[in-house]
Amino acid sequence: MLSASSLRLRIIGCLLCLACVSSGSLLTKALGQASDKEKLRKALGDVELAGPWIYDDVPAGFALARKNGKPLLVVFR
């Protein structure tokens, strides 16, 4: 059974990823970086990407932020 702290971390981590499902964006693949990072994600046994999250590519994040004027949220997890 999960401890309260483990459950809370999982909930926050999952909600950050799943919260973007409703937007339906395919931005990560459009950037053409899915194959390299897909290898990384699978090597780490990581969760499926959902929504517009950029996976382990900070420069791509900055490039997109310069283009669309949005601020960045960078999660280290």
Residues interacting with other proteins, by CB under 8 A?
Answer: 3-5, 8-9, 11-23, 36-37, 39-41, 43-44, 46, 51-58, 60-62, 64-66, 68-77
Task: Compute how many other C-beta atoms are within 10 angstroms of the C-beta atom of residue 41.
Answer: 16
Q: Residue 2 and residue 9: Cα distance in Å, rounded?
A: 11
Nearer to other proteins, 30 or 36 (CB): 36
Instruction: Give kind and range of the element (H or E) at residue 13.
Output: helix 4-18
